[in-house]
Amino acid sequence: MRGLTEIRIGGFGGQGVILAAAVIGKAAALFQGGYATMTQSFGPEARGGSSSAQVILSTEPILYPYVTQPDVLVVMSQEAYTRFAPQLKPGGILITEQELVRVGQIVEGTRAYGVPATRLAEELGRKVVLNIVMVGFFAAVTGLLEPEALRKAVADSVPAAMQKLNLQAFDRGLEYGSKLIEKNGECEHGVALEAV
């Protein structure tokens, strides 16, 4: 973890956006000695069925928990992409559910990664864990947090009966992301995420 990192996660209701955000925040604070906040906004857009959360990871206590320009944007719906992509910080990381989001023209220097999280979750038997597949993929492509800290945060955030399935989902996303990174020869994890 380095300096201050702002993350925005968006999708539609039922995809588990909030849980994914809480897992990332918890991993940073409980298992890596950092600080994190997670903010959820309820407003007119929520009435339309969309869901989003903001996570800030920091090595210091956080005074202002609002994300204005995310370093990392994770989107699981076209609507969330359209709404939040223009806010992504130059040099930021865009992570999409690739079968749900069609990526348009993106700013030069953005690193964009897609994962078929819903399909991978369905292969594990429960579509509902797509959010945790996304978290595993996030671990691999951002390199921001230790996969082991995120794994512990996943186990800590779901009911006992759902732990095994969620850990499988995490591992599946992590593996998919690691292979993608390997194939593309991308090794500068976190470089774009220096303290601001």
Residue numbers at the binding site for its own copies (CB under 8 A): 18, 22, 25-26, 28-30, 35-43, 46-47, 61-66
Are the C-beta atoms of 9 and 20 separated by less than 8 Å? yes
Are the C-beta atoms of 14 and 31 separated by less than 8 Å? no
The nearer residue to its own copies, 37 or 96, going by C-beta atoms, is 37
- The C-alpha atoms of residue 7 and residue 71 are separated, in whole angstroms, by 6
Name residue, tokens 């040099």: 91
- The C-alpha atoms of residue 195 and residue 117 are separated, in whole angstroms, by 29
Tokens for 53, please give them.
């959360």
Q: CB of residue 27 vs its own copies: minimum separation in angstroms?
A: 9
Q: CB of residue 138 vs its own copies: minimum separation in angstroms?
A: 17
Q: Which of 119, 126, 82 is nearest to 101 (CA)?
A: 82
The nearer residue to its own copies, 156 or 175, going by C-beta atoms, is 156
The nearer residue to its own copies, 84 or 176, going by C-beta atoms, is 84
Q: CB of residue 79 vs its own copies: minimum separation in angstroms?
A: 17
The nearer residue to its own copies, 12 or 35, going by C-beta atoms, is 35
Q: CB of residue 66 vs its own copies: minimum separation in angstroms?
A: 6
